[in-house]
A and B are shown apart, each in its own frame.
Chain A
Protein backbone atom coordinates (compact mmCIF):
# COMPACT_ATOMS: atom_id res chain seq x y z
CA UNK A 1 0.00 0.00 0.00
CA UNK A 2 0.87 3.67 -0.08
CA UNK A 3 3.30 4.90 2.56
CA UNK A 4 5.52 7.78 3.66
CA UNK A 5 8.97 7.51 5.21
CA UNK A 6 10.65 10.41 6.99
CA UNK A 7 14.12 10.79 8.43
CA UNK A 8 14.23 10.06 12.12
CA UNK A 9 14.69 12.86 14.57
CA UNK A 10 15.36 14.71 16.57
CA UNK A 11 17.16 17.16 14.35
CA UNK A 12 19.06 19.72 16.41
CA UNK A 13 20.35 22.88 14.74
CA UNK A 14 21.70 26.25 15.69
CA UNK A 15 19.79 29.35 14.65
CA UNK A 16 20.45 30.38 11.03
CA UNK A 17 21.59 26.88 10.03
CA UNK A 18 20.34 25.15 6.87
CA UNK A 19 17.58 22.60 7.32
CA UNK A 20 16.79 19.47 5.33
CA UNK A 21 14.22 16.90 6.40
CA UNK A 22 14.05 13.94 4.05
CA UNK A 23 10.75 12.43 2.96
CA UNK A 24 10.17 9.61 0.48
CA UNK A 25 6.91 8.02 -0.51
CA UNK A 26 5.42 4.95 -2.11
CA UNK A 27 2.26 5.42 -4.12
CA UNK A 28 0.53 3.63 -6.97
CA UNK A 29 -1.13 6.70 -8.46
CA UNK A 30 -0.38 10.40 -8.55
CA UNK A 31 -0.78 11.68 -5.00
CA UNK A 32 -0.64 15.22 -3.75
CA UNK A 33 2.16 15.76 -1.23
CA UNK A 34 2.05 17.88 1.90
CA UNK A 35 4.16 19.10 4.79
CA UNK A 36 2.33 19.80 8.03
CA UNK A 37 3.84 21.29 11.19
CA UNK A 38 2.77 20.61 14.77
CA UNK A 39 3.79 22.96 17.56
CA UNK A 40 3.75 21.65 21.14
CA UNK A 41 0.25 20.95 22.41
CA UNK A 42 -1.42 21.94 19.14
CA UNK A 43 -3.01 20.38 16.07
CA UNK A 44 -1.52 20.25 12.59
CA UNK A 45 -0.96 23.30 10.43
CA UNK A 46 -0.48 23.05 6.69
CA UNK A 47 3.01 24.30 5.82
CA UNK A 48 3.12 23.69 2.06
CA UNK A 49 1.90 21.36 -0.65
CA UNK A 50 2.55 20.20 -4.21
CA UNK A 51 0.04 18.51 -6.46
CA UNK A 52 2.09 17.20 -9.39
CA UNK A 53 5.59 16.22 -10.40
CA UNK A 54 8.20 19.04 -10.39
CA UNK A 55 5.87 21.38 -8.48
CA UNK A 56 7.61 23.37 -5.75
CA UNK A 57 5.64 24.24 -2.63
CA UNK A 58 6.86 27.12 -0.50
CA UNK A 59 5.78 29.03 2.59
CA UNK A 60 7.49 31.02 5.37
CA UNK A 61 10.93 30.31 3.88
CA UNK A 62 10.33 26.55 3.67
CA UNK A 63 10.44 24.79 0.30
CA UNK A 64 9.86 21.27 -1.02
CA UNK A 65 9.89 19.94 -4.60
CA UNK A 66 7.78 16.99 -5.77
CA UNK A 67 10.30 14.61 -7.35
CA UNK A 68 8.54 11.72 -9.05
CA UNK A 69 11.74 10.11 -10.33
CA UNK A 70 13.11 9.74 -6.80
CA UNK A 71 9.66 9.61 -5.09
CA UNK A 72 10.80 12.31 -2.71
CA UNK A 73 9.49 15.55 -1.19
CA UNK A 74 12.33 16.84 1.00
CA UNK A 75 11.70 19.89 3.17
CA UNK A 76 14.34 22.65 3.17
CA UNK A 77 14.87 26.03 4.77
CA UNK A 78 17.91 28.21 4.29
CA UNK A 79 18.05 29.75 7.77
CA UNK A 80 16.08 28.32 10.67
CA UNK A 81 14.85 30.26 13.67
CA UNK A 82 14.14 29.19 17.23
CA UNK A 83 10.44 29.62 16.46
CA UNK A 84 10.69 26.84 13.84
CA UNK A 85 11.12 24.28 16.62
CA UNK A 86 8.25 21.81 16.12
CA UNK A 87 7.41 18.39 14.71
CA UNK A 88 7.18 18.21 10.92
CA UNK A 89 5.02 15.64 9.14
CA UNK A 90 5.24 14.65 5.50
CA UNK A 91 1.98 13.30 4.08
CA UNK A 92 0.44 12.14 0.83
CA UNK A 93 -3.15 12.27 -0.25
CA UNK A 94 -4.22 8.85 -1.40
CA UNK A 95 -6.27 9.21 -4.56
CA UNK A 96 -7.98 5.85 -4.11
CA UNK A 97 -11.58 7.06 -4.28
CA UNK A 98 -11.49 9.47 -1.37
CA UNK A 99 -9.25 12.06 0.16
CA UNK A 100 -7.33 10.13 2.85
CA UNK A 101 -4.03 11.45 4.17
CA UNK A 102 -1.18 9.04 4.91
CA UNK A 103 1.45 10.49 7.25
CA UNK A 104 5.04 9.80 8.02
CA UNK A 105 6.10 9.30 11.64
CA UNK A 106 7.17 12.93 12.01
CA UNK A 107 10.54 14.59 12.55
CA UNK A 108 11.17 16.72 15.61
CA UNK A 109 13.23 19.84 15.00
CA UNK A 110 14.92 21.70 17.85
CA UNK A 111 16.61 25.02 17.04
CA UNK A 112 18.92 26.57 19.62
CA UNK A 113 20.00 30.24 19.82
Chain B
Protein backbone atom coordinates (compact mmCIF):
# COMPACT_ATOMS: atom_id res chain seq x y z
CA UNK B 1 0.00 0.00 0.00
CA UNK B 2 1.17 3.52 -0.75
CA UNK B 3 2.16 5.70 2.15
CA UNK B 4 1.56 9.40 2.48
CA UNK B 5 2.54 11.22 -0.70
CA UNK B 6 3.38 14.88 -1.11
CA UNK B 7 4.02 17.13 -4.08
CA UNK B 8 6.11 18.81 -5.19
CA UNK B 9 9.28 17.50 -3.55
CA UNK B 10 11.14 20.77 -3.90
CA UNK B 11 10.05 24.32 -4.63
CA UNK B 12 11.80 27.66 -4.99
CA UNK B 13 9.79 30.87 -4.66
CA UNK B 14 10.54 34.55 -4.14
CA UNK B 15 9.31 36.79 -1.36
CA UNK B 16 5.71 37.88 -1.72
CA UNK B 17 4.68 34.94 -3.90
CA UNK B 18 2.06 32.34 -3.11
CA UNK B 19 2.60 28.58 -2.82
CA UNK B 20 0.34 25.52 -2.74
CA UNK B 21 1.54 22.21 -1.35
CA UNK B 22 -0.37 18.97 -1.79
CA UNK B 23 -0.77 15.80 0.24
CA UNK B 24 -2.50 12.47 -0.24
CA UNK B 25 -3.07 10.42 2.91
CA UNK B 26 -2.77 6.70 3.38
CA UNK B 27 -5.80 4.92 1.94
CA UNK B 28 -8.54 4.77 4.57
CA UNK B 29 -7.15 7.62 6.64
CA UNK B 30 -9.50 10.56 7.09
CA UNK B 31 -7.30 12.95 9.05
CA UNK B 32 -4.44 15.04 7.66
CA UNK B 33 -2.07 17.24 9.62
CA UNK B 34 0.53 19.74 8.40
CA UNK B 35 3.83 20.54 10.12
CA UNK B 36 6.61 23.00 9.40
CA UNK B 37 10.19 21.91 10.07
CA UNK B 38 12.77 24.67 9.98
CA UNK B 39 16.35 23.48 9.50
CA UNK B 40 17.82 22.13 12.72
CA UNK B 41 14.52 22.13 14.64
CA UNK B 42 11.68 19.77 15.38
CA UNK B 43 8.45 19.96 13.37
CA UNK B 44 5.86 22.53 14.45
CA UNK B 45 2.13 21.86 14.10
CA UNK B 46 0.27 24.06 11.59
CA UNK B 47 -3.16 22.49 10.93
CA UNK B 48 -5.20 19.35 11.33
CA UNK B 49 -8.20 18.43 9.20
CA UNK B 50 -10.69 15.64 9.64
CA UNK B 51 -13.61 14.93 7.32
CA UNK B 52 -12.95 18.23 5.51
CA UNK B 53 -13.28 20.28 8.69
CA UNK B 54 -10.46 22.08 10.49
CA UNK B 55 -9.93 20.34 13.79
CA UNK B 56 -6.98 22.32 15.08
CA UNK B 57 -4.64 25.14 14.23
CA UNK B 58 -1.16 25.97 15.50
CA UNK B 59 0.40 29.33 16.16
CA UNK B 60 0.87 30.43 12.55
CA UNK B 61 -0.24 33.66 10.86
CA UNK B 62 -3.33 33.94 8.67
CA UNK B 63 -1.07 33.78 5.60
CA UNK B 64 -1.21 30.03 6.16
CA UNK B 65 -4.41 28.25 5.17
CA UNK B 66 -5.41 24.73 4.26
CA UNK B 67 -8.29 22.64 3.11
CA UNK B 68 -9.26 19.00 2.77
CA UNK B 69 -11.09 17.53 -0.18
CA UNK B 70 -13.82 14.82 -0.31
CA UNK B 71 -11.15 12.21 -1.17
CA UNK B 72 -9.30 13.28 2.04
CA UNK B 73 -6.34 14.77 0.19
CA UNK B 74 -5.27 18.19 1.38
CA UNK B 75 -3.65 21.42 0.27
CA UNK B 76 -1.58 23.84 2.31
CA UNK B 77 -1.49 27.41 0.99
CA UNK B 78 0.92 30.11 2.05
CA UNK B 79 0.45 33.69 0.85
CA UNK B 80 2.89 36.60 0.81
CA UNK B 81 5.90 34.36 1.36
CA UNK B 82 8.65 35.51 3.69
CA UNK B 83 12.26 34.33 3.85
CA UNK B 84 11.42 32.71 7.18
CA UNK B 85 8.89 30.42 5.50
CA UNK B 86 11.78 28.43 4.04
CA UNK B 87 11.40 24.99 5.59
CA UNK B 88 10.46 21.37 5.07
CA UNK B 89 6.67 21.06 5.09
CA UNK B 90 5.48 17.69 6.31
CA UNK B 91 2.09 16.12 5.91
CA UNK B 92 0.93 13.36 8.22
CA UNK B 93 -2.14 11.17 8.08
CA UNK B 94 -4.04 9.13 10.64
CA UNK B 95 -7.35 7.32 10.75
CA UNK B 96 -8.95 10.10 12.76
CA UNK B 97 -10.89 7.62 14.88
CA UNK B 98 -8.83 7.63 18.07
CA UNK B 99 -7.38 10.19 20.41
CA UNK B 100 -3.55 10.27 20.56
CA UNK B 101 -3.22 7.86 17.64
CA UNK B 102 -0.11 7.40 15.50
CA UNK B 103 0.48 9.81 12.65
CA UNK B 104 2.33 8.66 9.53
CA UNK B 105 4.44 11.17 7.68
CA UNK B 106 5.13 11.79 4.04
CA UNK B 107 8.55 12.67 2.61
CA UNK B 108 7.87 16.40 2.79
CA UNK B 109 8.09 19.37 0.45
CA UNK B 110 11.22 21.44 0.77
CA UNK B 111 10.41 25.12 0.19
CA UNK B 112 13.09 27.72 -0.37
CA UNK B 113 12.07 31.37 -0.39
CA UNK B 114 14.57 33.77 -1.96
Contact = CB atoms under 8 A, between A and B. Distances in A.
A50 to B, nearest CB: 11
Contact of B103 (A51, A99, A106): A99
A73 B88 CA distance: 26
A45 B31 CA distance: 18
A34 B100 CA distance: 10
Interface string A35-68: 0100000111110010100000000000000000
Contacts of A89: 42-43
Interface residues of A, number: 26
B46 to A, nearest CB: 10
Interface of A: 4, 31-32, 34, 36, 42-46, 49, 51, 89, 91, 93, 95, 97-106
Interface of B: 4, 6, 31, 33, 35, 40-45, 48, 50, 55-56, 58, 88, 90, 92, 94, 96, 98-108
The 8 closest A-B pairs by CB, nearest first: A103-B42, A32-B100, A93-B100, A44-B105, A98-B56, A43-B107, A98-B55, A43-B108
